[in-house]
Amino acid sequence: MLDAVLARANTWMLEHIDPKWIDYVASNTMTDLNRRLNGFIWTYELQAQVVAVRDEAPGVKTFVMRPNQLWQGFEPGQHVELVLPIRDVQGLPVKRFYSVSPQPQGRFSITVKQTRQGRASRWLHERLQVGQRLPISQAQGRFCRRTDQARLLYLCAGSGITPCHSMVSAALAGPAAQRPDMQVIAQFREADDLIFKDDLAAWKQAGVKVDTLFSSGSPQGLPASRLDAEQLRRLCPDLARREVYLCGPEGFMHGMIQALQSLGVDPLRIHTERFTVSHLTPSTGFSVAGTEVRFKHIDACFTMTAADEGKTLLQAALDHGVNLERGCTQGMCGTCKLSVHDGEISGNVLGRAVYMCTSYPASRQIVLGP
């Protein structure tokens, strides 16, 4: 009974009172009693409470969440880190990143596909219920559309559609006169794996060109269709003039980058987001001593020494006093992502996009920038 009353009270406060005022009052009345009575408001920890759960497809669920007053909002395409109440093999809390989509009344949603070996996705699907709270991070990531980009292609596969869903939904919710020209090409294994089916149909009605492909056969019984360069050229004839936002499994992304580059798309127009990263190691047989690394956007440069052997580009830069933006340091969030303008790099590289925290030098001179 008390939990239900508190939930209604929290909802009313977060929807009708400026979060800054809630934070001011809570911070100045922080007592053990208040924290025990209402730990969602009287806390210094950013949390989100589940307010709805819905099935999107077999094995795929969307969780609608209400953040507390410490939430600073997000840009469409960004993600948050969830801290789950389960432990990994080292006894540490399991943490995972999920793209966030806009919801009414200051809420957001995450969409999670359950994977066979995924402890986190299995716990979310089997245990997370309406009313439960989880610690979260502020929104992060740079997989976001710039407002000056007028022609866009969202190219995605499987659950990689989630950050694209966020950006398209936000654009359609804005003024019609400011909407970009958007096209979505989404590939799924089969019809049952289709995510956001109703939204995809609504996007078509709103004027977005949407194409869905199924690699194991279409629902109309047509042959399977796996996206390749020729099909990409046919579906998007003005491809070279569009900014491309690419997200999906690793194999799909590598294949699409090769296809895009073979069709003449400027690598600087290809924007990527990834959910998984293979275990990466430095190039064998390459000694980093004497390698010069230059950053065009901050006018900084350093020369690697033998002491930098085995270090990622990010760690080496930090150790040499070059302060770069960074986030998860696992090659996922994209905060440290830059473009290679000259030189060779091994590790976590997609086209010209270099994830600094999981990439290594492979040539004597490297030039990086936005």
Give residue-wise pLDDT tens across range 70-108. Answer: 999 999 999 999 999 999 888 889 999 999 999 988 999
For residue 15, which amino acid is it?
A: E
Residue 363 burial (C-beta neighbours within 10 Å; 0-12, 13-18, 19+)? middle
Q: Which of 15-19, 56-60, 94-98 comes out lowest in average pLDDT?
A: 15-19
Write down the pLDDT at residue 110: 97
Write down the pLDDT at residue 301: 95
Strands 47-57 and 151-157: unpaired
Max distance between CA atoms of the chain, in angstroms, equals: 67
pLDDT surpasses 80 at 29? yes
pTM: 0.81
pLDDT surpasses 80 at 13? yes
Write down the pLDDT at residue 5: 76
Give Cα separations from 112 to 99, 163, 196, 215 (angstroms): 9, 12, 12, 21
Confidence grade of residue 368 (pLDDT, cut at 50, 70, 90) = very high
Residue of 285, 322, 321, 289 whose CA lies nearest to 305: 289
Q: Which of 3-7, 20-24, 65-69, 219-223 comes out lowest in average pLDDT?
A: 219-223
- Give 339's contacts (C-beta < 8 A, 6+ positions apart): 267, 268, 352, 353, 354, 368, 369, 370
- Give the chain's domains with CATH numbers: 2-135 (2.40.30.10), 151-273 (3.40.50.80), 292-369 (3.10.20.30)
Confidence grade of residue 221 (pLDDT, cut at 50, 70, 90) = low
Residue 91 burial (C-beta neighbours within 10 Å; 0-12, 13-18, 19+)? exposed
pLDDT surpasses 60 at 137? yes
pLDDT surpasses 60 at 126? yes
List, for residues 276-293, the tens digit of each pLDDT value.
666 667 777 789 999 999
Give Cα separations from 1 to 4, 43, 94, 155, 264 (angstroms): 5, 22, 31, 47, 62
pLDDT surpasses 80 at 220? no
The more confident residue out of 224 and 246 is 246
List, for residues 179-203, the tens digit of each pLDDT value.
999 999 999 988 888 999 999 999 9
Q: Answer whether 121's CB lies under 8 Å from 113's CB.
A: yes
Q: Answer whether 247's CB lies under 8 Å from 222's CB.
A: no
Mean pLDDT of 230-254: 92
Q: What percent of the chain has pLDDT over 90?
A: 59
Write down the pLDDT at residue 77: 94
A 10 A CB-CB count for 321 gives 8
Q: Determine the number of helices (DSSP H) and then strands (DSSP E) in the chain.
A: 9, 18
